[in-house]
Structure 1
């Protein structure tokens, strides 16, 4: 799993920091620091954090056995595979 944040879109609402503090940290008032390669054990927290972003700045990328899939915030891996 890989996490990408569009820092130009991020407005510093910090919902991700509350839901996945192991991966997202707000530095100062607006600078978001994040782990782009979090442990798979944090998958559920990362997905919730991405879904909670008011401006949809967080994207989660999953690697499957066939090809990489880019899944935008809030979309589960199963939904992405089945085109939902």
Structure 2
């Protein structure tokens, strides 16, 4: 039973949220200011911003695809290990 004086969340959860806030803040700052930098500071045509962004997202899509393939490949082994670990605790029971 929780007492009223017990913290709702652990201290580490608050620290993790605090650090994620600043990481997201930095990303949003770059996402908002990068087009201005490309167009006004580098004096590039606006389509160059589109090309740079497309390359970044295309690379991310490619590596997400590779990560999915790796997850499919290695999931077979980890699923087998989880099944054996859970069977030791009686979660998976053999009905034969």
- The normalised TM-score by structure 2 is 0.20
Flag the structure with higher strand content.
1
Q: Relative CO higher for 1 or 2, CA cutoff 8 Å, sep ≥ 6? A: 1
Flag the structure with higher helix content.
2
User: Highest CA radius of gyration, 1 or 2?
Assistant: 2
- The normalised TM-score by structure 1 is 0.22
